[in-house]
Structures are given as structure tokens and as C-alpha cells.
Amino acid sequence: MKSEFGKLTENSFATVISPGLFTTVQDEGRFGYRRYGVPPSGPLDPVSFRFANAMVENPLGSPALEILGGNLALRMLKDTTIGVAGALAEINVAKEKNQSPTIINIQRGVTVSIGIPVSGFVIYMAVRGGVNGDFVLNSYSTYVQGGFGGSGGRRLVEDDAIDLLYCSKVVQPSIPETLKIEEPARISIEIGPHTELLGTEVVRDYLETGFEVTMDSNRVGYRLRPQETKTLPILDQLVSFPVFPGMVQLFPNGDLLVILKDGQTTGGYPVVGILDEESVSKLAQVGPGGTVYLDLR
Amino acid sequence: MKPDLHVSRYGNYIYVRVCDEIDISCNRIVHCIDRALRKRGPVWLIESVPAYGTLALVANLSMVTFSSIERELKELYSSLGSDPTVGVSGRTITFRVMYGGEFGPDLKDVATETGLTEEEVVRLHASRIYDCYMLGFSPGFVYLGEVDPKIRVSRLKTPRISVPEGSVGLAGSQTGFYGVSSPGGWRIIGRLVEKSFDVRRNPPSTVEPGDRVKFVPVAVGTVVNNL
């Protein structure tokens, strides 16, 4: 799909000096299209995403920047207010140092740079008025594998201009909770469609082993590699069935794949557990290279 | 015989399981329940996702309890009669396909492997009307079956990094096509002339789960709307 995203317009509030590792525009997600194989996309850590929007008094679910691994630098073109939440990182505005989570009033012309997180992995930068992007299938969320939505179906690159959406200001009825970032993280998990088939106690014992989030993990899914070799009964490949973000697949080699927001809509591996939204948010913040322990409830 | 429904809940997701196989009569029941449920449009239903033998539902469980949803589903299922598939069938969608050459790089190998000529493979592939079991894997990927036993081949040993959108592939008893460019391991024998998946349309896919699909071979060189 042809996209106009990245072009400088009168609505541009910033241009990209350094895009960071993987920065995209995300709103709450794209719903209703799984039956056509389209995943929801949306924030990897919805808890921090909502907090960032609430800080700048945006309507719930307004599109914001999702910055994986930090290292984003923007030249600001308008006077505005930003809210930064999620992973803990240093934010430099002109020469002034700030720490996330925080609200900062910005004057046009300054440079905003977000460093590499000291704790956590996913940062949200909400801008008062929301971040504009391609509105595809009722969502501003970027889906890179599909090549559509949000920031032109791709991650931000140097020299992209980013526009304001100009959504109306709302007074938040209540400020949502912030996410407590832990590392290593203990994450609670509920039983999934095949937990009992494999034996709940066997699975519980397996999940308590520490896992490392592998470096090839991304918005499609986080792959978890067991720190100790323990064996689980092997199930035959199953006939594909619908799967959802938060579901934990077991691969024949013992790795787990936690399906995230850009993950496939169907899969054929046994699902040994499911993470709720808060657990998914916690896991997202662990990031590649981190360690997690899964407590089966 | 009408199979029993198994309804279970995991988080906010409800799985309605009819069977655990790739079986067309079971799959048709999945689509019948999906259609009947969507027609009824219960307030708790956010999204429904049909697959081979399972219908998954995203439910708003703050509105109703799981047990009342389970009751509603079983009641709906019994109201569908002893054979829920009677009188229910999807539309038949026709796609033109350019077989072979640059659009079907694996057609030659499929012919060699099956001991047929390329023309015979094309004729056998285009001679059936297929059922769409589900969409999945990637946006707009359509799973179809069943393929004539004479042209059943295994997947590529090493999947391709990128298969162009509109590519028509074979894998065992299944055929299907790619809605967007993606990595893939199916044996590619042709390319659709018509665009089957377009995010500027709503719904984005020409084919709905449960529809039927017919392929018509056309000469290579036909205008490709896909590109």
C-alpha cells in the first residue's frame, strides 16, 4: 500500500534525527479482522501505553510512539506536551535531563532524545493531540509484516516527519496504574488449551524453570529458551486453530513462543498457557536478553 | 451424525471445538455456527475466528458469565437441526490464475514429481471447486481443499524468504494463496490475476471463511491488477 507517512506537512510536530531500534505508531489495536488473518497489532505493553496517553490528557487509545529499546531523537517543530512512560530511561530536552515516566512541555526547535532504558525495554511517547499515521482497517497501529497501518506499515527512519492527529483533550476520570518493571520478572500464567493434556503439574514444573528471552524476539512474539534442560512430553503437530496474543506455544525443542500483538492468527503448536494483559505488559518490558520465571496459577 | 460441541474458556477467549481433524463436514459445521452466531449478534461477541475444527470467540466477559455463553452456544447449535450444514453454503468466488513460468516457479517440479505434464497439473488444479477452510498464517492467506490426490506434493524443504502476494501454492491435500507478500514454504504454481486482499477495502479479503473458490487458467501476460 502506498503511504504518505513521513512527509513534512503543516501538521508535523517533529522530524526524526535518530529513529532508534524499532519505533512505530500504535493505537489500542486493530479489531475484527482476525478471521481474515490480520493480527490486532497495538501496544506490546498496553498498561504503559494507556498511562502515557493519560498523562497528556488524550482520549483512551490515542495513537502514540512505541519505542523498543529507546535511542530515539526528534527535532520538535511545534510547542507541545509529551508524556513518556514504560521502560525507565533518560530523556534529554535541549540540555535538561529528565527521567521517565514524566510529562514535559516542549518548545519548538528543541531536540528531544530518549536514551537506552536502564530498566525495561518498551517506551511510549504520547503527544498531546495524538500521533497521526495511516488509518487502515479502523486502526492507526503499524503492522510491519503486513506492510500497512500507522507509520506507513514500517518502523520510523531518519528524516521522517511525524504529524499531530489533533484529537480533542479529555480530562481523565482516573489515572491508570503504572506498570511495575521487574527484572528478572516473575509472571503469572493461566492454563491454556493443552496444559491438561501435557499434565498440569509437569507443565508447572517446566514453566518455573527460568527462561531467557532470545535476541530474535520481536513484536510478533518473544521466544523463551529454558535455562535448564528439562523435558516435556512431545505432542504431535496439531491441526491449526486460532491463537491470540498472550498465548504460550511449546515448540518441539522445548522453547516457548509467547504470541504478541503482531503474531499469527492461527497456529499448530500446543498452547501450554496464557498470559493476561498485565502479564503480557510485564513480559514485553523484560525484552530480548532478559530472564523470566512463569508461575502457573 | 452431529458431533458434540466442546466449549471452553481461556482468558477472554472462548473455544468452540467441533473436531481436531482437517475434515470438510466438520469444518462446514464450524462455519455454520459462525454464521448463525454473527447473524444473532449477541452483545458479548467482540470477534469470531473460524478455523479447521474450532471456532474461537473473543468475548466481553464483563457483560455475561461464561456459563451463560456456553448455554447460548449449545442452544444455538441444537436449533441448527440434525444436519447444520443443510441449505447453507458460501458463495463461489472465481479467480483467474496465470500458471507456471515466473508466476509459478514450482510448477515444473510438481509436474516432474507427480509424473504429469505441466498442463495436466494445471487442469487438475483448476478442475475442482475448493472449500475455504479458514484464513490465517498471514493477512489474507486462504486455506483451500481438497486437492486431487494426483497432484499432492510436500512443502519446500527450505521455505522462501518472500513469496509475492497473489501466489497460488500447493501443500499436501491443501491449496491456497498468499494475500500479502510473506515468507512461505508452499509449492508455488501460479499467481492470481485479481487482487484477493486489499486493506483499503472492508472487508479486506474477497474470500470469507466458508466460501468456495474456483480457479480459471489464463495465459501468462494477462494484465496483473495485483502489481
ipTM for the whole complex = 0.93
Architecture of domain B92-218: Beta Barrel (2.40)
Contacts of B150 (CB under 8 A, 6+ apart): B114, B116, B124
Domain ranges (residues) in chain B: 6-79, 92-218
**Whether A38 and B139 lie within 8 Å, measured CB to CB:** yes
CB B21 to CB A190 under 8 A?
no
Shortest distance, CA A95 to any CA of chain B (angstroms): 43
pTM, entire model: 0.93
Domain ranges of chain A: 12-163, 185-296
Residue with cell 501435557: A198
Q: How far apart are CA A210 and CA A224, in angstroms?
A: 9
Task: Give residue B92's pLDDT.
Answer: 96
Does residue A201 sit in helix, strand or coil? helix
Mean pLDDT in runs of 10 for chain B (227 residues)? Answer: 92 94 93 94 96 96 95 94 73 96 96 97 97 95 96 94 96 96 95 96 95 93 55
Angle between helices A46-55 and A277-286 (to 10 degrees): 90
Of residues B8, B137, B181, nearest to A37 (C-beta): B137
Using the Cβ of B180 and the Cβ atoms of chain A, whether some distance falls under 8 Å is answered with yes
- Report the C-alpha gap between A213 and B109 in whole angstroms: 40
Helix boundaries (H) for chain A? 46-55, 195-198, 200-208, 277-286
> With an 8 Å Cβ cutoff, are A36 and B140 in contact?
yes
Give the per-residue pLDDT at A230.
78
Please give, rounded to a whole number of angstroms, the shortest distance from the CA of B11 to a CA of chain A. Answer: 7
Which of A28, A36, A154 to probe the B interface (max B CBs under 10 A)? Answer: A36
Residues 9-68 of A with CB under 8 A from B: 31-38
Work out the minimum CA distance from A39 to partner chain B, whole angstroms.
8
The beta-carbon neighbor of A241 closest among B54, B181, B182 is B54
Distance linking the first and last C-alpha atoms of chain B: 47
State the smallest CA–CA distance between residue B106 and chain A in angstroms.
24
Q: Is B52 an interface residue toward A (CB < 8 Å)?
A: yes
Specify the amino acid at residue A224: L
What CATH architecture applies to the domain A185-296? Answer: Beta Barrel (2.40)
Q: What pLDDT score does B227 carry?
A: 46
**Separation of alpha carbons B119 and B107, rounded Å:** 10
- Same CATH fold assignment for domains B6-79 and B92-218: no
Pairing label, strands B45-50, A90-93 = unpaired
Q: Under CATH, which architecture does the B6-79 domain have?
A: 2-Layer Sandwich (3.30)
Q: How are beta strands B92-99 and B212-218 bridged, if at all?
A: parallel
CA distances from B179 to A55, A97, B30, B135, B136 (A): 39, 47, 23, 10, 10
Whether B128 and B147 have beta carbons less than 8 Å apart is answered as: yes
Distances (CA, A) of A24 to A64, A143, B1: 8, 9, 51
β-bridge pairing B45-50 and B6-10: unpaired
Q: Is B200 on the interface with A (CB under 8 A)?
A: yes
Q: Among B90, B93, B123, which Cα is nearest to B189's?
A: B123
Q: What tens-digit pLDDT sequence spans chain A (297 residues)?
A: 689 999 999 999 999 999 999 999 999 999 999 999 999 999 999 999 999 999 999 998 999 999 999 999 999 999 999 999 999 999 999 889 999 999 999 999 999 999 999 999 999 999 999 999 999 999 999 999 999 999 999 999 999 999 999 888 887 767 777 888 888 899 999 999 999 999 999 999 999 989 999 999 999 999 999 998 777 877 777 899 999 999 999 998 899 999 999 999 999 999 999 999 999 999 999 999 999 999 998
488509518: which residue's cell? Answer: A135
Sign of dihedral through CA atoms B182, B188, B192, B193? positive
